[in-house]
Amino acid sequence: MSLVVQKYGGSSVADAESIKRVARRIVETKKAGNEVVVAVSAMGDTTDELLDLAREVSPLPPPRELDMLLTAGERMSMALLAMAIADLGFSVRSFTGSQAGVITDTAHGKAKIIDVTPGRITDQIGKGRIVIVAGFQGVSRETKEITTLGRGGSDTTAVALAAALGADVCEIYTDVDGVFTADPRIVPAARKLDHITAEEMLELAASGSKVLHLRSVEYARRFNIPIHVRSSFSHKDGTLVTDQAPEGQSVEAPIIAGVAHDRSEAKVTVVGVPDRAGMAAAIFAAIADAEINIDMIVQNVSANETGLTDISFTLPKSEGPNAMQALSRIQDEVGFASLRYDDQIGKLSLVGAGMKSNPGVSATFFKALAAADINVEMISTSEIRISIITRDDRLDDALRAVHTAFGLDAAEEAVVYGGTGR
């Protein structure tokens, strides 16, 4: 008998009919002889609707109260899902994050899970019951306040439960068939991957792939939990995310896992920075003090004898105004000339564990971009990833060119289901 943890996203439980469909799926898994624990997101657009309501009442709601409000969303979906399962004749209990023992830090709106104490869940499993847990939420050990884990947090709930319960697999149900070599909405020739390493999945998630929440992949990797990403709309196998490639497959593992893209970043350029020691440090200290995470950095060599240089970096668009304000405050101190802000950029990332041992990947990559007439503005790399920044409106062409150049194109086009994936 296996213990399976499943996670269903908001689009999988958007209305009564969808909830009943998911209930049947859960019951099938139970009938097949498994113990089943399910993490569920709020129905459809509930979270956005609650956020809208909060904004109508207050422009800047207290984070504690916002978490109180938002956690009502999964409370509804978990109870409804439990009802639908009970209606199929199966014994079931639903639990909030707090009841399920999902213990977090105190950072309202972006809390991190620090422990899971699943006593009530294991009790119910012992009684042969299916257990439904509200995703996205927990309770602070320190303040006993209700917290939320931030967007996509239900993935992390599922993986954390799987780790705490010693589950055999964590199945993440979504509205696509699995992890693709690229977003099929942009690259119709994208192929579904049967397998991807956790390391590669981490790089893809960090590079803009929305299939899995970054933190959930980190968590799965740390606790060695296999994730199976699959569609709640079909019974096909999806993509297995594990630390090691499945046996017998490593030999023929492809060099490249996929191509990710990200349109959520902007570029800030600090123009005319005196080319002296400590100037870059002062700039990035100001950014760090404002608690802004930056991504890629480029410092131009001094072009002439003025002794001035330009420093560019990318950051989430949502942090743009903060960053510009923080930098303006140190303009006199650092003595730079001006600031430029550009939110018309796009990022493309090529990810593959095979890069490590395959020279020539960069050459193929940049040749493909050049042939497609893509202007590369910034570059950054890790051991298994190359990322570039280009113009926003050239990103789709760049994705297709790179996908083709690395032989990732499928013979047939992928099936794309409706919805947004969460």
Torsion of CA 238, 263, 217, 232, to 10 degrees: -30
> How distant, in Å, are the alpha carbons of 262, 288, 419 from that of 229?
21, 35, 16
Q: Can you tell me the distance from the alpha carbon of 41 to that of 150, in angstroms, rounded to the nearest whole number?
A: 12
Determine the residue type at 176.
Answer: V
Q: Can you tell me the distance from the alpha carbon of 65 to that of 346, in angstroms, rounded to the nearest whole number?
A: 35
Determine the residue type at 161.
Answer: L
Question: Is 210 annotated as a binding-site member?
Answer: yes
Torsion of CA 402, 407, 408, 410, to 10 degrees: 130
User: Minimum Å distance from CB 235 to its own copies?
Assistant: 23
User: Minimum Å distance from CB 82 to its own copies?
Assistant: 4
93 versus 213: smaller Cβ distance to its own copies: 93
39 versus 196: smaller Cβ distance to its own copies: 39
157 versus 181: smaller Cβ distance to its own copies: 157
Would you say 183 and 191 are in contact if contact means Cβ atoms under 8 Å apart?
A: no
Question: Is 38 annotated as a binding-site member?
Answer: no
User: Minimum Å distance from CB 53 to its own copies?
Assistant: 6
User: Minimum Å distance from CB 152 to its own copies?
Assistant: 21
60 versus 411: smaller Cβ distance to its own copies: 60
Question: Is 319 annotated as a binding-site member?
Answer: no
Determine the residue type at 203.
Answer: E
Question: Is 10 annotated as a binding-site member?
Answer: yes
70 versus 334: smaller Cβ distance to its own copies: 70
78 versus 159: smaller Cβ distance to its own copies: 78
Report which of 207, 203, 180, 182 is spatially closest to residue 193, judged by C-alpha positions: 180
User: Minimum Å distance from CB 86 to its own copies?
Assistant: 5
User: Minimum Å distance from CB 155 to its own copies?
Assistant: 22
**Which residues here bind its own copies, judged by CB under 8 A?**
16, 19-20, 50, 53-54, 56-62, 64-66, 68-69, 71-73, 75-76, 78-80, 82-84, 86-87, 92-94
Report which of 202, 119, 217 is spatially closest to residue 160, judged by C-alpha positions: 217
DSSP characters for 346-389?
A: EEEEEE-GGGGG-TTHHHHHHHHHHHTTPPP-EEEEETTEEEEE
Tokens of 422: 């969460």
Question: Is 404 annotated as a binding-site member?
Answer: no
Tokens of 298: 């480029």
32 versus 53: smaller Cβ distance to its own copies: 53
- Within 250-358, residue ranges assigned H as helices are 279-289, 320-329, 331-334
Q: Can you tell me the distance from the alpha carbon of 397 to that of 370, in angstroms, rounded to the nearest whole number?
A: 11
22 versus 176: smaller Cβ distance to its own copies: 22
Question: Is 9 annotated as a binding-site member?
Answer: yes
Question: Is 356 annotated as a binding-site member?
Answer: no
Question: Is 74 annotated as a binding-site member?
Answer: yes
User: Minimum Å distance from CB 87 to its own copies?
Assistant: 4
Question: Is 168 annotated as a binding-site member?
Answer: no
Helix (H, G, I), strand (E, B) or coil at 160: helix
User: Minimum Å distance from CB 349 to its own copies?
Assistant: 38
DSSP characters for 289-302?
A: HTT-----EEEPPP
Helix axes 46-57, 63-87, angle to 10 degrees: 150
Known binding-site positions for ATP: 7-10, 174-175, 185, 210-211
Known binding-site positions: 7-10, 47, 74, 174-175, 185, 210-211
Known binding-site positions for substrate: 47, 74
